[in-house]
Structures are given as C-alpha cells and as structure tokens.
Amino acid sequence: MNRWLSACRLLPLFAALMLVLSGCGEPYLSTLDPKGPVAESQFTLMKLSIYIMLLVCAVVFSIFAYVLIRYRKRPGQDGIPKQVEGNTKLEIVWTVIPIILLLILAVPTVKQVFYLAEGPSGDEDALKVKVTGYQYWWDFEYPDLGIRASQELYIPTGKKVYFEVTAKDVIHSFWVPALGGKVDATPGLTSNLWLQADEEGVYAGKCAELCGPSHALMDFKVVAVSPEEFDDWVAKMKAASAEPTSGAAQQGEKLFKQNCLSCHAVGKEGGPVGPVLTNVADRVKIAGILENNKENMEKWIANPQDVKPGNKMPAFGKDVNPEGLTQEEISALAEYLSTLSVRE
C-alpha cells in the first residue's frame, strides 16, 4: 500500500511533464506538422504503425484483463485448475495475425524507402545542394549555380531538392523536422537525401548527432521562397561583392578585410574556413541561435566562446584577446556586416 502511495506522489510530476512536453513541436520544427511530401510520407508511416500498435495493445490488454478476472482464485477453491496444453487452432490464429500486421506495415514502408531514395537521375534541371557539417555550423553549396551560402539554406517551393550530405570534422546529422530527414553527415562519406517544401516559410534545422559541447546550438534554417524569388536570390548572390553600400560601413569594411576575409567569404572573395557571409544581414539568426541585431553581432565577434563553446572562431574582444579590437572597431565591423544583404 505504501509503495502504491509513493508511486501516486509521482503523478503531479508526470502531469507537469506532459504539460511541458506538449509545448514541444513548434509548427516550423515539428515532424507532426509536415510541410512537404517527404515529411508527409514519413508522418503517414508513423501514424500507420502507431494505429497498429494501439490496436494490438487494446486487444492484448482486454484479453489479459478478462483472463485475470474470469480465472481468478475464488474462495473455497483448492488446488490447481485443469491445465490445457496445445491448441492448434489458437496457435495458428496467433501466428497468422502478426504476419498479416507485419505485411500491412512492410509493404508501404518498403515502398516509401524506395520513393525517398530516388536520385536526380534523368532530371536535367534538378536542384542539387552539397551540405557540409562543421563544428558548429552548416555550409550549403549549389554546385550547378556556382554559389555558396552558410547557415541559411534557400530553396524554391514545390521543387525537389537533392542533397549530398557530408562533414569535415566529426559526425553530424542533417535534420529539418518539418520537411523530413534525417541523414548523417559523416567525414569522408556522402549521404543522399531529397526534400521538398510545399509552403513558403522558414523551417528550423537541427544537428541530430552529438558532436561536441555546442551540439545543441548547431541550428540552421531552411528558407523556402517562391521559384521566382529563388532565381532572384541566386542572381543577387552571384553578383554580391564585399564592397560596402554605405559610407558609415567603410571603416568596418577595412577591418573586415584585415581580420575576417581570410576565413570568411563574401561573394567571390575570401577564405573557405568559416561560414560564408555574403548575405549575413539577411539571416534570421546570428550563429544559428541569436536574434540578428547589431548588439548580438558585437557580442558574437567579441567572444564567440561565450555563445557557442568549442567553436573555431577566435575572440576579438580586448578583454578576452589583448591583441583584439576595441569596442569601437567591433561596432564598425558589426555595422559593415549589417550591410551585407541580397534581399530588400
């Protein structure tokens, strides 16, 4: 009785847990609210297996409860009741039913596996994107379009996008819950996957493989835009350059070229080590997790370790790095970065 009572004491905890967990799954980050054919087909399979599981549980527990009550020990009853061994009819029934259930599960599952593994073969103007995972950011290269972008993946709606996923340092996993997935990003290995977004919007992407202290912060975004807007974006990304558009950003530009360009690319200039910054001002988030504003950009430049422990970006704040930049210089850099946009 005491044990029963102490188990009951946990009930409020479970009730609270249910409340908290029901907050999970924002529409742009939920496998339960699919926004494309891949996520849709995976969600259908999930529902099918859960319905079958519920049916099996209901039948098994009903029989279990019936047997418990019907054959319980009654007062005045002595000894063991008559034992039954072997019943061919029953044994056939409980062998055949699971076979039928497995077939109901297996046929659509195998069909979907082949559908989801389809490659771009034959589709001349298929959109291909090479995805590379780094600690702790994502790089997206459009080999046929000759552009690179990082952290935010632009795709046109209503079109299959074929991904070649790999990594440069450790194993990551590329996952966009609302669109489908996920697939491992493994150094030295390329995994394939296609996704499609049917609605315009910004979908959250996650690294789904423990990859270091900032694994949980290795977020990215998928920005699905209309095909016309996508073509426009591609043209502007191709034409973008590191020249600042406003006079106020010119000091920042000079500092950027001295301190940042060897690692970060803008347009066709710059190094391949860090995320591409061609359209950094358009990003929804800085470093995948901070609201994109000047204050956060300064915070990130001054001490990236504070935001994302274990990342490879050096700190530029004087308090962390004596050879770094003054607050005024960091502010000028952030001002310059806020001009790097290809969208109005």
Cβ-contact 155, 114 below 8 angstroms: no
Number of residues that bind ligand CUA (CB under 6 A): 9
* CB 163, min distance to ligand CUA, A: 16
Q: Does 172 bind ligand CUA (CB under 6 A)?
A: yes
* CB 134, min distance to ligand CUA, A: 8
Interacting residue with ligand CUA among 133, 270, 275, 304 (CB under 6 A): 133
Cβ-contact 48, 108 below 8 angstroms: yes
Please identify, among the stretches 23-31, 89-97, 203-211, 244-252, the one whose residues bind ligand CUA according to the rule CB under 6 A. 203-211
Please identify, among the stretches 56-64, 151-159, 210-218, 335-343, the one whose residues bind ligand CUA according to the rule CB under 6 A. 210-218
Q: Does 165 bind ligand CUA (CB under 6 A)?
A: no
Q: Does 325 bind ligand CUA (CB under 6 A)?
A: no
Q: Does 153 bind ligand CUA (CB under 6 A)?
A: no
Q: Does 280 bind ligand CUA (CB under 6 A)?
A: no
Cβ-contact 54, 132 below 8 angstroms: no
Long-range CB contact pairs, 123-129, < 8 A, 24+: 123/160, 126/160, 126/162, 127/155, 127/156, 127/159, 127/160, 127/161, 127/162, 128/161, 128/162, 128/163, 128/164, 129/153, 129/155, 129/161, 129/162, 129/163, 129/164
* CB 137, min distance to ligand CUA, A: 9
d(CA 194, CA 120): 9
Nearer to ligand CUA, 303 or 311 (CB): 311
Main-chain phi, psi angles of 337, to 5 degrees: -60, -30
Interacting residue with ligand CUA among 127, 131, 165, 207 (CB under 6 A): 207
Minimal CA–CA distance to 298: which of 324, 268, 263? 324
* CB 262, min distance to ligand CUA, A: 24
d(CA 25, CA 53): 23
Please identify, among the stretches 186-194, 207-215, 222-230, 240-248, the one whose residues bind ligand CUA according to the rule CB under 6 A. 207-215
Interacting residue with ligand CUA among 149, 211, 223, 224 (CB under 6 A): 211
Q: Quick check: bond before 134 cis, omega within 30?
A: no
Nearer to ligand CUA, 54 or 210 (CB): 210
Q: Does 264 bind ligand CUA (CB under 6 A)?
A: no
d(CA 319, CA 42): 50
* CB 273, min distance to ligand CUA, A: 17
Cβ-contact 175, 205 below 8 angstroms: yes
Q: Which residue has the tokens 């001054």?
A: 302
Strand 220-225 relative to strand 152-156, pairing: parallel
d(CA 46, CA 32): 9
* CB 100, min distance to ligand CUA, A: 40
Q: Does 176 bind ligand CUA (CB under 6 A)?
A: no
* CB 115, min distance to ligand CUA, A: 28
Beta-bridge mates of residue 75: none
Binding positions for ligand CUA, rule: CB under 6 A: 133, 136, 172, 207, 209-211, 215, 218
